[in-house]
């Protein structure tokens, strides 16, 4: 498994990180706890050492399943969690972190992230200075080892980095969703801020498993994802038809091709979810795939018709 340094720290991350949003069940369908535990354990066995979760994923359910699955192997993994936008006041951050530690069955988090910027989803805006003070105090107490942010704009990222050491940014990023490349990616690479790309398989679209008439079950949040709407979805399917021969020639899946594209550049990890053990093993194997410059240029060309139709709104969903 390839590894990346987390920001300016000495914390090692696996290039493929297992994401556990689906493990929380909320906003997903067909998720089974026993299968989730097996998926986490299979990921560890396959070389994935880093796991990303959040308090809001099923109101702590994802954290609890993850903690149970890891069990006595805590010293073999790197744990990342997040505090939601409604818990950014000083005392709320402290309490949320303590809940996450309890859920995960650990006494420290390797990375604790602000999940969404202050004021998101109707939450009362809290000055970033107050939130950073709480995070810094947690770090001084040894409850967290590093601080990161998620879903922050370029300006918000620069503002919070001016207040203290921020080691990572977690944005939506895939071959079909590339807003972060406009300004943010180059700045992160220049300033040693590690990019933890979520939805690198475009919430399953880049796996090629969805046909032209696919409809999500009720309760699956992906039904509101911009890429699955009628203006973009046909173009995405056409691009997948062009990508498929490349994957077949290399003897890999479309999902592995998408993940390999993501981690082909320095300072980027791909957060990949998995419902079962087979998916975890498949995701891990993506770290062994080599893409040439010609491959990367071809993938860029193929994806452009999709990206060129997406507006400036970096949020993937039409909420």
Domain assignment of residue 244, yes or no: no
In which band, very low, low, confident or very high, does the pLDDT at 234 lie, cut at 50, 70 and 90?
A: confident
Residue 42 has pLDDT above 80, yes or no: yes
pTM, entire model = 0.92
The overall longest dimension of the chain from CA atoms, in Å, is 54
Instruction: Please report the DSSP string for 87-119 in residue order.
Output: G-SHHHHHHHHHHHHHHHT-S-BSEEEE-S-TT
In which band, very low, low, confident or very high, does the pLDDT at 157 lie, cut at 50, 70 and 90?
A: very high
Mean confidence (pLDDT) of the chain = 92
Domain assignment of residue 310, yes or no: no
Domain assignment of residue 299, yes or no: no
Domain assignment of residue 160, yes or no: yes
Residue 57: active-site member:
yes
Catalytic residue (choose from 57, 112, 173, 233): 57
Domain count, the chain: 1
Domain assignment of residue 135, yes or no: yes
| Cα separation, 151 vs 197, whole angstroms | 10
* Rounded percentage of the chain residues whose pLDDT exceeds 90: 76
In which band, very low, low, confident or very high, does the pLDDT at 216 lie, cut at 50, 70 and 90?
A: low
Q: Which of 156-160, 211-215, 231-235 has the lowest mean pLDDT?
A: 211-215
Task: Quick: pLDDT tens for 238-284.
Answer: 999 999 999 999 999 999 999 999 999 889 999 999 999 999 999 99
In which band, very low, low, confident or very high, does the pLDDT at 319 lie, cut at 50, 70 and 90?
A: low
**241 compared with 208, residue with greater pLDDT:** 241
Domain assignment of residue 312, yes or no: no
Give the CATH number, domain containing residue 120: 3.20.20.100
In which band, very low, low, confident or very high, does the pLDDT at 317 lie, cut at 50, 70 and 90?
A: low
| Cα separation, 22 vs 133, whole angstroms | 31
Domain assignment of residue 317, yes or no: no
The two tokens of residue 232 are 């973009």
Task: Quick: pLDDT tens for 102-154.
Answer: 999 999 999 999 999 999 988 999 999 999 999 999 999 999 999 999 999 99
Which pLDDT value is given to residue 228? 75
Which pLDDT value is given to residue 65? 95
Residue 307 has pLDDT above 80, yes or no: yes
Domain assignment of residue 225, yes or no: no
In which band, very low, low, confident or very high, does the pLDDT at 165 lie, cut at 50, 70 and 90?
A: very high
Q: What is the helix, strand, coil percentage profile of the chain, to 5?
A: 45, 15, 40
| Cα separation, 43 vs 32, whole angstroms | 16
Structural domain boundaries enclosing 107: 3-208+253-291
The burial of 309, by beta-carbon neighbours within 10 Å (0-12 exposed, 13-18 middle, 19 or more buried), is given as exposed
């Amino acid at each position: 498994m390839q590894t990346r340094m987390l920001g300016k720290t000495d914390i090692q991350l696996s290039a493929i990180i297992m994401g556990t949003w689906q493990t929380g069940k909320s906003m997903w369908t067909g998720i089974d706890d026993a299968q989730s535990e097996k998926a986490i354990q299979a990921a560890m066995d396959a070389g994935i050492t880093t796991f990303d979760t959040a308090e809001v994923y099923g109101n702590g359910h994802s954290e609890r399943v993850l903690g149970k699955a890891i069990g006595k192997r805590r010293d073999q993994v790197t744990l990342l969690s997040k505090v939601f936008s409604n818990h950014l006041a000083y005392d709320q951050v402290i309490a949320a972190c303590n809940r996450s530690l309890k859920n995960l069955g650990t006494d420290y988090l390797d990375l604790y992230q602000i999940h969404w910027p202050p004021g998101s989803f109707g939450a009362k805006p809290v000055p970033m200075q107050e939130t950073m003070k709480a995070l810094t105090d947690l770090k001084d107490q040894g409850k967290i080892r590093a601080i990161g942010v998620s879903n922050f704009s370029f300006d918000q990222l620069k503002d919070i980095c001016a207040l203290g050491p921020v080691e990572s940014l977690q944005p939506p990023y895939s071959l079909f969703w590339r807003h972060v490349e406009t300004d943010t990616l180059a700045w992160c690479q220049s300033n040693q801020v590690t990019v933890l790309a979520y939805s690198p398989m475009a919430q399953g679209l880049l796996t090629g498993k969805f046909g032209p008439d696919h409809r999500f079950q009720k309760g699956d949040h992906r039904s509101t994802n911009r890429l699955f709407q009628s203006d973009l979805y046909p173009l995405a399917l056409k691009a997948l038809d062009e990508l498929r021969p490349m994957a077949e020639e290399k003897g890999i899946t479309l999902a592995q091709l998408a993940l390999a594209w993501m981690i082909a550049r320095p300072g980027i990890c791909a957060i990949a979810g998995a419902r079962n053990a087979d998916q975890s093993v498949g995701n891990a194997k993506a770290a062994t795939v080599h893409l040439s410059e010609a491959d990367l240029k071809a993938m860029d060309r193929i994806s452009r018709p999709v990206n060129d139709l997406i507006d400036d709104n970096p949020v993937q969903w039409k909420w």
